Each structure stands twice: as C-alpha cells, then as structure tokens.
Structure 1
Amino acid sequence: MQLTRVLVSAMFAGVATGLIAALLQLIFVQPVLLHAELYESGELVHFGSAAVSANPELPGFDALRDGMSILFAALVYTGYALMLVGLMSTAEQNGHEITPRNGMFWGLSGFIVFHFAPGISLAPEVPGVASADLGLRQIWWFSTVISAGLAMWLLAFGKSSVAYGIAAVLLMAPHVIGAPMPSTFTGPVPTEIGSLFAARAFGVGMASWIILGVCAGYFWNTEGARQAAIA
C-alpha cells in the first residue's frame, strides 16, 4: 500500500534528520540559549553594571535535558517527514519525479513554510523577551504556515501567471496584516545574544530541512520502501 511506503520512508527520514538536527542544535543553538537563560535568571546583568564577559561558563552536558532534546527533535522531524513524504507521494502520482536531488528543494520549501515565512515577523526568541498574547501568536503562526504552504505549492506546480500571483499574495498577506506585537519592549538579554540566537536558529533549521528533503527523496526510492508499498 502507498500509505505503508509513506510511513516507512517518513520514519527513516525523520529519525535520521532528527538526530542530525539535534546535534546541530546542541552545538550551535543551545549554548546561546543557555547564555540567555543566565540573564533571564538574573545571574548575569546587562545594564547598570560593570561590563560582563561575552564568554561565561555555561552548564555542561545534562543527560536528561539533552537526551530529551534529541528525542524531541527526532519526533518533530518525523512529523515533518510525514507531511513532506505525503506531499511527495501526491506529486509523484501526478507525474512528478521524486529524487534525493530535487528533495533538496522540497526541504528548502519546508524551511520557508515552517521557519522563514513566520519568522519574518515572529523571529525566534530567547527567554525573557517581551511578547504578545500566546494565543494570538499561535493563530497568526498557523495561518502564516498554511498560507505559505499553499503559496509554495502554487509556485512549484502552478501553470499560469494567475497561480503565481495568488502565491505572491498568500506569502505577503500575513505580514501586511501584521503579527501580534507586545505593547512594550522589555527584557534582560543583550540584543547581540538575541540576534545570534535568531540567526543560528534559522541556519540550523534550513540545514535540517534540506537534509530532511534529501533523506525523504532517498528513502522514498529505496527498495525497502517500494516493497512495503507492494506488500
């Protein structure tokens, strides 16, 4: 059954990507996050004190915290893989070839949909920063992801200028409407840490999604996945 092929391909692609993504997060993102938490807790103070070292001693490896991060990354990217491979299956049934090579573009599209498009107006945030109501932000985030997903599909498979125009409107509309913003700006974390966190979160997210696309394209075409569809 085709569903079995989707599940098998997504499971292998998601777990493989999740482990790589977790490693990238532990190396590049978590140190910045732990640094920000020192300011959130008050252990470090940015304003109104003597200059603070930009390289403080951070907490070391924590088996529970880091183990849960690895498990969570594997689960999240398996969920992403299910959506991605499901769409790949639909595209293949409509005559489009799926390969590891074009899987890179599928992955990049996923990054744009889930990270870049919403992140333009709601950037990744370090702990302790001011923010608008969580419910309103979640509504805006989901709406933006759906809008961007439809736009990317139209850009990839649309066959007319009308489809491309609709895609452009879908990409811009959430940002024209505007994301929920806090009424005041507060926060103890230096802006340098906040900008570094956002940049690394985007970078790791893009790398992980491209890896996911390549893995999804590869596992979709493995003999094991094909046999699972036949069985």
Structure 2
Amino acid sequence: MASRLLTSALFAGFCAGLVAALLQFVFVQPVLLHAELYESGQLVHFGAEPVSADPDLGGLDLMRDALSVIFSALVYTGYALVLIAVMSLAEASGAGITARTGLIWGVAGFVAVHLAPAVSLPPEVPGVAAADVFLRQIWWWATVVATGIALALLAFGRSWMAWGSAIVLLAAPHLIGAPHPDSFSGRVPPELAALFAARALGVGLAAWVLLGSLCGYFWQREGLRQTATA
C-alpha cells in the first residue's frame, strides 16, 4: 500500500507540477513581472504620464525559472500525496478510483485549496496593500481544512446533520472574515491585480484537474500491477 501510494503520488505530482509551471510561465509570470515594475517604482500608476499596458519585461531569468519549476513540482507532489491518501481511504469504503473519477477529486482539491480561500482572500500581486502574512496563513490553512472536511461530508455524508455541518464549515471562514489591511495603498493598478487573480485561479483549476486525473490513473494502474504480480 505504501509503495503504491508513494509511486502514484510521485508520478502524478511531478507531471502536474511541470504542466502547472508551464502554464504559469505563459499566463501568470508576465503579469507578476509587470506588477513588480510598479512595486519597484519603475512604473507609476497615479500622478504620472500614462504608461503602456505591455511594457518590456526583460529576458529570461534561468535561475528564477528553474527554481519555479522545482517548487511547482514539489508543491504538486505534496498535493498528490494528500489527494491519493484520501483516495485510498475512499476506495477502502467502496468508492471507485479511476482517471475519470480522479478528475472530480481534482476539482474538489481546487475548490478547497484555491477557490474557497480566494472568495475572501484572492491571490495578490507584489506591491498591493496586505494584512500580516502570518495571520493570512493561519486563515488560509483553516479555510482549506474546513472546506476539505465540508466537501467530504457533502460527498460521503448520509444524513442531514452531515450536510448541514458541511454548509456551516463552508461558510464559517468567510463569516469570521479574512485578515485585510486597515487601508488600501497599493501601487499596482487594480486591472493588473484582477488579471493576476483570474489567471492564478485559472491555472490552479487546470493543474488540479490534471492532478486529480493523473492520481486516479496511476492509483488504478499501480493497483492492477500489484494484483497481477501477487
């Protein structure tokens, strides 16, 4: 079981991480680099002459890009370990795990890790006003855990009490409220911040759908292989 879990997670996480890194290079990194020009003061949003919405962002930074690929692969491998561990528990309870059902698991992972936190704490570009990072991290983790449990209760619960508890868990982090700055004083144009949030969520959805499908595929394949060699 342990070797099956580890093998499936490594293959699925590494592949999904590479694809996520590629999508980030194409869609997210240009927006991030653009925002950094405002953060550093090279571009000014207010009180200056209008600037191009498509500035020269410079050439490739091989070290930064390589580290981004490695970080993405590691992060999604970690996600895959968690996802497959939960899949194994679901399979033990009678759920079928395939590439097709894994896609649904991937969407659920995206909702828990990206979409639910973004409702109250959207992805932020450099240079925007933000609350204390430690408080935001606590709120983010609490929201991910609460949402994950809520989705499990909605999917596998068998009573109105379970479903009602799921709704409470989904709403609680947002009713409590995410940490926000006392005032807004960011340097980055709101249009750029909105584009970054939208693309970050879009890339996250694509990566999680792929991750879920790959986790389901490799988990099923490793199970069949171990059964054949037993």
Gaps of 5+ in 1: none
Residue matched to 1:90: 89
Q: Assess if the C-alpha contact under 8 Å between 2:115 and 2:201 holds in 1.
A: yes
Residue matched to 2:211: 212
Kindly state the Cα deviation for residue 225 of structure 1 after the two structures are TM-superposed.
Answer: 7.2
The 5 A counterparts of 1:31-42 are: 31-42=30-41
Q: Assess if the C-alpha contact under 8 Å between 1:5 and 1:226 holds in 2.
A: no
Q: Distance in 2 between matches of 1:229 and 1:61?
A: 47
The 5 A counterparts of 1:56-205 are: 56-205=55-204
Q: Distance in 2 between matches of 1:61 and 1:161?
A: 54
Q: Distance in 2 between matches of 1:228 and 1:180?
A: 50
Kindly state the Cα deviation for residue 226 of structure 1 after the two structures are TM-superposed.
Answer: 3.8
- With 9-18 and 219-228 compared, the bigger mean Cα shift is at 219-228
Q: Distance in 2 between matches of 1:77 and 1:134?
A: 22
Q: Assess if the C-alpha contact under 8 Å between 2:8 and 2:222 holds in 1.
A: no
2:17 maps to a residue whose letter is G
Secondary structure class of the residue paired with 2:120: coil
Kindly state the Cα deviation for residue 132 of structure 1 after the two structures are TM-superposed.
Answer: 1.0
Kindly state the Cα deviation for residue 215 of structure 1 after the two structures are TM-superposed.
Answer: 0.4
Q: Distance in 1 between matches of 2:13 and 2:207?
A: 10
Kindly state the Cα deviation for residue 227 of structure 1 after the two structures are TM-superposed.
Answer: 2.5
Q: Distance in 2 between matches of 1:35 and 1:229?
A: 53
Q: Distance in 2 between matches of 1:230 and 1:155?
A: 37
2:48 maps to a residue whose letter is S
Q: Assess if the C-alpha contact under 8 Å between 1:21 and 1:73 holds in 2.
A: yes
Taking structure 1 as the reference length, the TM-score comes to: 0.96
Secondary structure class of the residue paired with 1:19: helix
Could you give the per-residue CA deviations for residues 30-76 of structure 1, whole angstroms, max 9, x where no partner exists?
A: 00000000000011111111111001011222111101100100000
Q: Distance in 1 between matches of 2:142 and 2:17?
A: 25
Identity rate, percent: 61
Secondary structure class of the residue paired with 1:222: helix
1:214 maps to a residue whose letter is S
Secondary structure class of the residue paired with 1:221: helix
Q: CA RMSD in A?
A: 1.5
- Counting matched residue pairs gives 230
Kindly state the Cα deviation for residue 224 of structure 1 after the two structures are TM-superposed.
Answer: 7.5
Q: Distance in 2 between matches of 1:202 and 1:114?
A: 10
1:107 maps to a residue whose letter is G
Runs of 4+ in 1 over 2 A off after TM superposition: 223-231
- With 87-96 and 156-165 compared, the bigger mean Cα shift is at 156-165
Kindly state the Cα deviation for residue 80 of structure 1 after the two structures are TM-superposed.
Answer: 0.1
